[in-house]
Homo-oligomer: A and B are copies of this chain.
């Protein structure tokens, strides 16, 4: 109950000074994000097989979100219903199928800024820090086009398709499985097991139908 003051000495320091003018047509391009867990990846290093070829090495993705995506995402989600910072993070993770989970280091400063700009406000009477749009905020959202209103899909777009390499596909699927295991109900876990075993069956069929060597079919 004494100290800790230093912790919030400057809430607005980091990127707190805000000039209004932003959110313009960000020309397409990469979105997504790749890294997940705090570990470099048990599937990357843990397996130890180089699997090096594959074509494009460090694949274009893996980059971070575009410059305004967090802001736009927050506005879009709050346009649906009031939420707190943590819920925003969770919701974005789910909507992007686990590909984009902005960290607290992105969300909270952004919320701070939006509050300063008067686009969001802390809901009164709430239990924690639940934010809702102001009128100005609602107006801002209206000025966004469809793509800007759903920045989480940018993460799935390219990433979910061709550009994604195998390892990333594996990782993201594993992450999805963990989600179900951890947050799901017993019934959901049961379903998840079926999905996994179906996938396994599909893999083996793959190998059987089109063997890498000999035994043509």
By a beta-carbon cutoff of 8 Å, the part of chain A in contact with chain B is 1, 3-4, 6-9, 11, 26-29, 33-34, 36-39, 42-43, 45-49, 51-52, 54, 82, 84, 87, 90, 94, 97-98, 122, 126-130, 160, 164-167, 169-170, 172-185, 187-189, 191-193, 195-204, 206-208, 210, 212, 215, 217
Contact = CB atoms under 8 A, between A and B. Distances in A.
A11 B195 CA distance: 45
Nearest to A12: B1
A197 B160 contact: yes
A29 to B, nearest CB: 4
A182 B46 contact: no
Task: Work out how many copies of this chain go into the complex.
Answer: 2
B49 A45 contact: no
A189 B177 contact: no
A108 to B, nearest CB: 12
Nearest to A161: B197
Contacts of A191: 206
Nearest to A54: B189
Contact of A42 (B27, B48, B204, B210): B48
Given A26-B128, A49-B42, A184 B199 contact: no
A46 B46 CA distance: 13
A153 B181 CA distance: 28
